[in-house]
Structure 1
Amino acid sequence: MTSAQLLIDAFGRVREEVHHAVDGLTEDQLGYRIDGQGNSIAWLVWHLTRIQDDHIAGAAGLEQVWTAEGWGARFGLPLDETDTGYGHNDHQVSRVRAKAELLTAYYDAVHQKTIDFVGALTDDDLPRIVDRSWDPPVTLAVRLISVISDDLQHAGQAAFVRGLLP
């Protein structure tokens, strides 16, 4: 198995978990917050997708799917167009509402862009520095594993919330 195949498999698992967490739920169920607080399924899936979109676009030197394909307008969220959800407070989390079909369609568009990018990578690409704002600087390999890890954590949190739906 090549590194590219391994990455395709890992991102495919993220996609499966995203769909499992979201499919068949109503907008109200997706917006449910345990004890009226915490992150909703809608926010978790939107956020993990925004981060994946942001990080893959940055590493690939491409425009984010969010802006390039008009997803920001489709979601119509009362947030800045560049917002990824990082550092959101309780009020901001509550503002992220969406239908299941919209969440999975946006994720699938980002997933396809991700697969197109990672499918063309070779082992020689992975040590490339993609972010010098950290010490040590972040390589492409570290960035991709970070995205996969973050995505799986948030998808797991969304599945947990789904299991607690009233």
Structure 2
Amino acid sequence: MNIFRHRPFGLLAPALLIAVAGCSSADDSAKVAVPSPDARTATVCRDLHRVLPEKLDGRDRDDPEPRSAYTAGWGSPAIILRCGVVRPPKMVDPKVAEGGDPDAVAGEVDGVDWLMEKHGDGTWRFTTANRVAYVQVSLPKGMPAQDEGTAVLTDLAGAVKKAIPKGIASMR
């Protein structure tokens, strides 16, 4: 058996892997973990999906992969919305309620209550409060919450109020 005859294929495999990895990293479509809501929450999340805006803070809608009625996205890098997520731990943290946590703040934008969390990597995450489902919105790195975050939440307020009634979300 001639080992040199098989060597080009051995060298080709790593090259193919690099080429495939290079193609996939250039792909701009966002990939998002899809929530698994209970039946009650799934119904209101599907209602929300139908009324979400086509534009958010001037960005066109471009839903992430895998496609789901529980996720939506706008722009690139994407602003990501996930409906039916579990309650964030900071939502029950007394330091947040008292204003003693600089990385998490409770606030209201156009009639919708939000928990606003700043992460160590510079990203922001907003989660609805006092609604029958938790809706989470994540801003991409480098997008300041004080400016664009307010516009994003303002653009989403009407859809959230229309589809997600006030109330207590499941405790899961």
Q: Could you state the TM-score of these two structures normalised by the residue count of structure 2?
A: 0.26
Structure with the higher fraction of residues in strand conformation: 2
Larger helix proportion of the pair: 1
Q: TM-score, normalised by structure 1?
A: 0.27
Q: Tell which has more relative contact order, 1 or 2 (C-alpha 8 A, sep 6+).
A: 1
